[in-house]
Each structure stands twice: as structure tokens, then as C-alpha cells.
Amino acid sequence: MGAPAALPLSMNPRSLLNLLIRNSAFRRRGPETGPVTLHRKRIFIVPTRHGLLFGLVLLLMLASSINYGLSLGFAMTFLLTGLGLVSILHTHRNLSGLTVRPGRTDPVFAGQRARFSVHLENRGRLDRLAIGLARADGEEAFCDVPAGCGAGLAVGVPAGRRGLLKAGRFSLFTRFPLGLFRAWSNLELDMSCLVYPRPEAGRVALPGLRAGQGQGAEHGAGSEDFSALRPYRHGDSPRHIAWKALAREHGVLTKQFSGAARGELWLDWDSLAGMETERRLSRLCRWVLEAHAAGASFGLRLPGRVVPPGHGEVQRRRCLEALALYGIGK
């Protein structure tokens, strides 16, 4: 926990308060790498709105029992009071001792939702039920983690801009079993999601092929030489979707063309002179997708970074990553 071992005697109340806050559940720890085990000191618990309402109902019950002299009314009021108190322990315990580790995060395009996932492991002997994961924007996801088992949870976060999207602060929380109290622990795992630029929309032509046959996208980009169908991937041009196959309920498939594979395509930053940076990246992103969809061998040239020509999934990812991180110190 890294709490200072010795407290200076001359500490003023304010810095003492700061120290307490730093050691409490509110403490901002900064991103943590690796697995985090939720122990007692990290878990915070407060009554929910319904918990407060329950307290009010208990007061009403107590008043009625006094007024009517109901001995069993007292007994039941006190039983429910005990129930509420015991539920604090249960709710707290439901979270205590869980181990959280960051899960895999797949890259997304700007404008989509990044899905951050965490993996929970319950090495204790008790089942943990209704564990929730939430971010400040309110999306919640729930799972059960049986004793000795693990479970995964993922929540979406809107990815607005390209680059590396930090996971930020999550809270792992639970209201189980009675919903009267909410226990939570703030988590800032060292997780980030790669956000590709948003591909430019509308009709975008691929630049002409350099070297070789000089065949340009305008000349069909090998469109005539339809070779195969493959499953649709995000970013594929709608023009290449096999609509007939879709109509026959074969699923969404993208047509691949062999014609373009023959040429070598350079997607060049400099060919888009005069455009604003993000629009350029957006256009380049679209080109990468189109070129990949067409099965072409393509290279990417950015100021200070050149991705040599290649093709296939790896090349697509390498290029998109270069675009996503352009101008951002890694």
C-alpha cells in the first residue's frame, strides 16, 4: 500500500487529512499494472437510496410498535435491523478478496465504443454473485464468480478520438444480496485501447498504382477480376459487399478481387497535400481498408514513418496502428 511508515509529529491537520484520504478507498493510485486483489482497505461501502428508505421503514415500524405496545413488532423491527446490518458484511464480503486483472482489448475505429474487459478471479471459498463493473458514464455489466473460478466482464467506452484510449477509472461494485448497501472499489488498471482514425465516409477513390502497370482504382481496381468471397470485416467498402449472397442469406460477405493484387500500391501522406491532418489520416485509413479489401499489396508513407508494402491482415493492422499513433509519442 506504500503508506508512510512514520508520521511526522508536527503534522498539521490538513496534511493528516490528506494522508488519510490517500490511504482510503478514495485514494487515486494511478494506473496499476498486473493483477489487483481487492482487500479490505480498498473497498468502500455506503447505503443505497433503497437502503435509506429501508431505514425509514424501520423507524416507522419502531414507532408503530411503541405506539401499539407490540412486543413482536419490536422483535420483527429488530430482526430486520439485524438483517440490514448483516447485509453490510455480506455486501462487503462479496467483493473482498477478488482478484482483478486486465483483459484483452481489441482496437476500434474512432466513433465506435471501445470494450474494456477485466478478468475476475475468486480464489476464496464463497461464490460471489452479481458483481458489477461500471465506468463514470454509467454503463454497467454484471457477472457471477463462483468459488475457485474466474469470470470476465466488459464495458464499452465511447472512443472519440484516434490514438491510445486509456481505460481510466472503473469501479467494481456490488449491491448483492439485499440492495441496501453498495460496496465498491475504484480501479485504474493500466489498460488502453488503440483507436484507429475514423475512415472517411462517402465515395473515395484509391490512388493510382505506382510502378508496374499503372493501373488505377478508377480503372476498376481489379474489380472485374472477382476471385473469392470472405466474411465481412469492419471497414470493408459497401461497394464490395456481396449483396446477392446476403439476399440468399449466406451472411455478410465481401468480394475479393485478384486484379489489384498484381499492382503495388503506395498510400502516401504527401499525395494529400493541402488537407488538414486528421482528414488526411481519415482518408488514408479509408484507403488502407479499401486496399486491404481489394487484396492489394500496399505500403504506407507517413512523415517520419514508412510501412513497407505488404498485404494481408498483419499489414492492415500495422498500417492502421501507424495512422492511429501518428503524431502521438508512444
Binding residues for another protein (CB under 8 A): 40, 50, 53-54, 57, 60-61, 63-83, 85-87, 89-90, 92-93, 96-97, 119, 121, 123-126, 129-130, 132, 139-154, 175-179
CB of 95 to another protein, least distance (A): 9
- The strand pairing partners of 154, in sequence order, are 117
Residue 243 in grid coordinates: 449483396
**Which C-beta is closer to another protein: that of 31 or that of 84?**
84
Angle (CA) 296-302-308 rounded to 5° is 45
Distance between CA atoms of 92 and 25, rounded to whole angstroms? 13
CA distance 218 to 207: 9
Give the separation between CA 309 and CA 257, rounded to whole angstroms.
18
Q: Which is nearer to another protein, 140 or 190 (CB)?
A: 140
Residue 306's DSSP bridge partners are 301
User: 27 vs 119, which CB is nearer to another protein?
Assistant: 119
Nearer to another protein, 65 or 315 (CB): 65
* Residue closest to 257 by CA, chosen among 291, 206, 218, 209: 291
Q: How far is the CB of 79 from another protein (least distance, A)?
A: 4
DSSP string, 27-87: -----B-S-EE--GGG-EEEE-HHHHHHHHHHHHHHHHHHHHT-HHHHHHHHHHHHHHHHH
Q: Nearest approach, Cβ of 231 to another protein (angstroms)? A: 22
**Residue placing its CB nearer to another protein in the complex, 113 or 305:** 113
CB nearer to another protein: pick between 137 and 190: 137
Q: Report, in Å, the least distance between residue 105 CB and another protein.
A: 14
